[in-house]
Each structure stands twice: as structure tokens, then as C-alpha cells.
């Protein structure tokens, strides 16, 4: 059974990317959502949905599941599985093979909320190749135009220069801090002007 760490991590990924792409309507984010890729699959119950996946260049609207044959044959462009004691072996073997050979998902990552283990793979020549971390330790890829890295034990998104992609609350705090910094600079300038006998309000 997934722990609260899994749910917190999943919510963080979804909310961060939705806020980052808030002006767009050409993507879908799935979280613990079934992906149906064969018409007899629902009866066979052969696959639990990915923990987190993204499909680009599709209509942004609510869905109960992702059904490949109803979505123009589209499979997820990126998948992230959150490892647990119960799922780690399957995520590293069975699901990796499925995403590589059937889904042909360009980028696949797994992350352990318990240990902060992060691994990523990119599809090249019909095979998954490990993604090497950059100098910051981030796994930078092209599907999202973002990198993945670990901060304080959490999987986070980063932009192409290594800056943390904020959540909405973090963005509000950043804007507030910037405003306060600018206000402090303005107050210091006004104080200097007054010391010189200049009224800054005139």
C-alpha cells in the first residue's frame, strides 16, 4: 500500500506542473490513472496505471482513464513511477519493459520517496538508455523542457538553468520576498535623499 509520502509526492508533481503550464491547454497529466492500450485489458486487469504521466499536444480536459484507441493512438510521453517495497521490482522490470516495447514512451523515470533514489531512461534506437545526471545531479530531458532533481527528499522540477520550478504557494512567497526587497531598496534610497536635504516625494 502506498504511504503518505507517495501521495504527497504525487500531489507535488501534479500541482507544480499544472501551475508551471497554467497558460497552456495542450497537455494532459495523469495521476494513478489507468492506461488502457488493449480492448480486452479492463477484463484482464493486467496493469495498474502509472503513478504519474504526461501526454503532450492533446486537449486539456478531465478524463476517467487514458484509453489509447480513443486518443488517436497516443501513449504517454513521460512516465514517473514512485517506488515502494511492493512495487519496486515491477516498476524496474515489468513496467519498464512495457513502457519501452509497447508504449514506446520516450522518457521513463522512477523515484523512491523513501530513499530518494532517482533513475531515468530515454528511448533511443528502440531501447531505453540511462539518463546521466548533469553537474547539479539533475536528470535533464526534452519531453517537458524541464529537469528532474531531488530537493529535501522530494522529486522536483527544474528549468534549463537549474532553477527550481515553484509551486503556487512558493511562487507567491517569491513574489512577496521580491516586493519586500524592492521596497527596502526604495526606503534606503529615500533615506539617503532626505539626508542630502532632498524630498523624495517631490
pLDDT digit string (tens) for 3-49? 789 999 999 999 999 999 999 999 999 999 999 998 877 655 566 68
pLDDT digit string (tens) for 47-60? 668 999 999 999 99
Assess contact for 82 and 113: CB atoms under 8 A.
Answer: yes
Choose among 152, 179, 180, 178: nearest CA to 164: 152
- In the prediction, which pLDDT does 190 show? 62
Class assignment of domain 4-165? alpha beta
Average pLDDT, integer, range 73-90: 96
Average pLDDT, integer, range 180-199: 66
Assess contact for 94 and 102: CB atoms under 8 A.
Answer: no
Q: pTM (2 decimals)? A: 0.85
Domain ranges of the chain: 4-165, 167-202
The mean pLDDT of the chain is 89
Average pLDDT, integer, range 124-146: 94
Task: Provide the grid cell at 176.
Answer: 512577496
Whole-angstrom distance, CA of residue 197 vs CA of residue 99: 71
Whole-angstrom distance, CA of residue 167 vs CA of residue 173: 10
pLDDT digit string (tens) for 82-122? 999 999 999 999 999 999 999 999 999 999 999 999 999 99
- In the prediction, which pLDDT does 89 show? 96
Assess contact for 103 and 37: CB atoms under 8 A.
Answer: yes
- Residue for grid cell 514506446: 104
- In the prediction, which pLDDT does 170 show? 83
**Helices marked H in the chain:** 4-20, 41-44, 88-92, 94-98, 168-195
The residues, ordered by sequence, that sit 6+ positions from 95 with a Cβ below 8 Å of its Cβ are: 50, 81
- In the prediction, which pLDDT does 47 show? 63
Whole-angstrom distance, CA of residue 11 vs CA of residue 14: 5
Whole-angstrom distance, CA of residue 201 vs CA of residue 1: 63
Task: Specify the higher pLDDT residue, 174 or 15.
Answer: 15
Which of 50-64, 66-80, 158-172, 176-190 has the lowest average pLDDT? 176-190
Amino acid at each position: 500500500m502506498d504511504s503518505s509520502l507517495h501521495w504527497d509526492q504525487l500531489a507535488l508533481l501534479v500541482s507544480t506542473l499544472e501551475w508551471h503550464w497554467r497558460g497552456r491547454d495542450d497537455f494532459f497529466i495523469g495521476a494513478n490513472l489507468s492506461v488502457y492500450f488493449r480492448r480486452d485489458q479492463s477484463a484482464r486487469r493486467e496493469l495498474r496505471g502509472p503513478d504519474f504521466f504526461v501526454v503532450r499536444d492533446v486537449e486539456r480536459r478531465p478524463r476517467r482513464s487514458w484509453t489509447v484507441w480513443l486518443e488517436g493512438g497516443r501513449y504517454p510521453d513521460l512516465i514517473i513511477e514512485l517506488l515502494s517495497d511492493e512495487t519496486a521490482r515491477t516498476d524496474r522490470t515489468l513496467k519498464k519493459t512495457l513502457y519501452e516495447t509497447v508504449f514506446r514512451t520516450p522518457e521513463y523515470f522512477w523515484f523512491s520517496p523513501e530513499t530518494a533514489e532517482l533513475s531515468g531512461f530515454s528511448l533511443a534506437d528502440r531501447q531505453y538508455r540511462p539518463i546521466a545526471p548533469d553537474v547539479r545531479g539533475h536528470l535533464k530531458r526534452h519531453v517537458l523542457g524541464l529537469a528532474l532533481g531531488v530537493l529535501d527528499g522530494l522529486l522536483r522540477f527544474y528549468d534549463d538553468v537549474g532553477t527550481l520550478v515553484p509551486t503556487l504557494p512558493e511562487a507567491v512567497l517569491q513574489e512577496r520576498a521580491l516586493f519586500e526587497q524592492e521596497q527596502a531598496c526604495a526606503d534606503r534610497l529615500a533615506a539617503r535623499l532626505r539626508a542630502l536635504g532632498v524630498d523624495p516625494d517631490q
